Chain A
C-alpha cells in the first residue's frame, strides 16, 4: 500500500517570500502524484500533477513541483507567495491515477 507524508503541518511565511511544502511518499510501484489546494470553506482544486515525463511540473498560480524518484519526494514550491495563497495544501498519490491517498495536509499561512 502507498502512503504520503507531508512533513510540515503549518508553514508560516511572509508575503513575497519563497516557500517549499514538502511531500514524501512510500510505494513499491510507480505512482502518479498530485498537489491540491483547499481555500477556506471551499472544496479541492488541482494545482498540478505528475504522471510521467519531465520531473519538473508547473501548475496554476505560479506553483511548481519536482518529482524526485530516488528520494521519493514531490515538494511544492513557489518563488514569491501572496496573501491569497493562504490555504491548506494536500499532496496525494495514486497507483492507477484515480483513487487517491492523501497526506495530512500543510496549512500555508502568508503574513503581510
Chain B
C-alpha cells in the first residue's frame, strides 16, 4: 500500500496566521484528497488535488481559505489561511492507489492543528 507522510504532525498556531501542510506519497498517484476532522467529528472532504490544474473544492470550502498545490504526482500541500480557533482540526491527506489494486483509499497520519 502507498505510504503517506504528512508534515507537520502537530502544531499550535496563533489566530490570524497561516500554516501549510505537506503530503508526500512514496509512489505516483493520480488522485490526492484533503479531509478535515473537527474535534469529536467525522471526516469531511475539503478538496481534490489535481496535478496540473486547480483543486476541486467541496461545498463549504473555498480556495482563498484553503489553497492547495499539486506540483507533481507524489506531493501536495494544503494551506489553512487566516486561522481561527474554529480551524482547530485534524487535516488528513489521502490517496487513491488506483490500478492494479484499484479503488483503495489510504490516509496519512494527519496533521493535528490547534489554533489559539
Q: Is the CB of A49 within 8 A of B43?
A: no
Residue among A42, A46, A103 making CB contact with B42, cutoff 8 Å: A103
> Chain B 19-63, CB within 8 Å of chain A: the 1/0 string?
000000000000101010000011111001000000000000000
For chain A, the bracket of interface size reads 20 to 34
The winner among A45, A46, A99, A105 for most chain B CB atoms within 10 A is A99
The chain A residues found within 8 Å of chain B, CB to CB, are: 32, 34, 36, 42-46, 49, 51, 90, 94, 96-105
- Alpha-carbon distance A34/B102, docked complex (angstroms): 13
For chain B, the bracket of interface size reads 20 to 34
Q: Is the CB of B108 within 8 A of A98?
A: no
Residue among B1, B102, B108 making CB contact with A97, cutoff 8 Å: B102
Q: Is the CB of B107 within 8 A of A49?
A: no
